[in-house]
Amino acid sequence: MSDNTSTPQNSPAPETRPAAAETPPVSLTGKGVPRPTPKATKYPGGPAADPAGSHHERRIRSFQPRRSRVTAAQEDALKRLWPVWGLDIDGHRVLDLDKLFEGRPVVLEIGFGMGEATAQMAEGDPDTGILAADVHTPGQGNLLRLIEAKGLTNVHVANGDAIILLREMLPPESLAGVRVYFPDPWPKKRHHKRRIIQPEFLALAASRMAPGALLHCATDWEPYAEWMLEALTADPHFENTHADYAPRPEFRPRTRFEGQGLGKGHVVRDLLFRRV
């Protein structure tokens, strides 16, 4: 992997898009709210602490940054490999996905945990690019470590808010798929508004997905699975590829997190909807 890490491959020339283009509903935009300068990272050359200042937006976020210890191996990967395979979701440029992924079709994965499943999927399908977005620093470091260990060239790690990534940094109809695996279910009723699968999110994601692209969701929280199925069925941009829930496709690995849920008696549901 040393040849792949010596020269950065994720530095597409910035493009300019009018700020008013393709603005989604107000609840997602935070329109007119200035973003502060990103906070400095504790890892020189690594991911920014808050690349877009997204906590200043007037919307409810679907994620909570998790604080956990970064191991020495993860820290080393963040310092060495972030300039090669990482990018901050700052909202200030539109990504050239063809250049970034060398012409591969690109799937956006929102929330990859520690990255084991992402690396496994990338290794099993080297002709597909994976843009993996998360805010969990140890997971970012671990995925970078796996990218190097497996010699992967089809994964880039994005740090920050996936809504900003979709809304401001991805061109319309540029994605071959979107994956949302085991998002926070926010089980309390008063927190349901924080769930990422909402009509506004689906409309935004659909605008960035090419016709025929696949939206793949998975959850081990049955009430959230029902919520997802209802929201996706009601959205005119998508059609279900199955009668209701789908069997787990072979390309989605069974993760440790999933195994823990199954051990507790949870039922894992996959949903596969196609962009029409």
Active site residues: 184
Asked if residue 71 lies in contact with residue 139, where contact means CB atoms within 8 angstroms, the answer is: no
Token pair in block for residue 98: 């063809």
CA nearest 140: which of 12, 49, 30? 49
CA nearest 248: which of 218, 215, 274? 218
Interatomic CA distance for residues 270 and 112, integer angstroms: 16
* Per-residue burial over 133-147, b = 16 or more CB atoms within 10 Å of its CB, e = otherwise: bbbbbbbbbbbbbbb
Cα 12 to the chain's mean position, in Å? 19
Half-sphere CA count of 81, side-chain side, radius 13 A: 28
Q: How far is CA 239 from CA 155, 183, 228, 258, 264, in A?
A: 28, 21, 13, 26, 32
Interatomic CA distance for residues 270 and 254, integer angstroms: 12
Amino acid residing at 33 = V
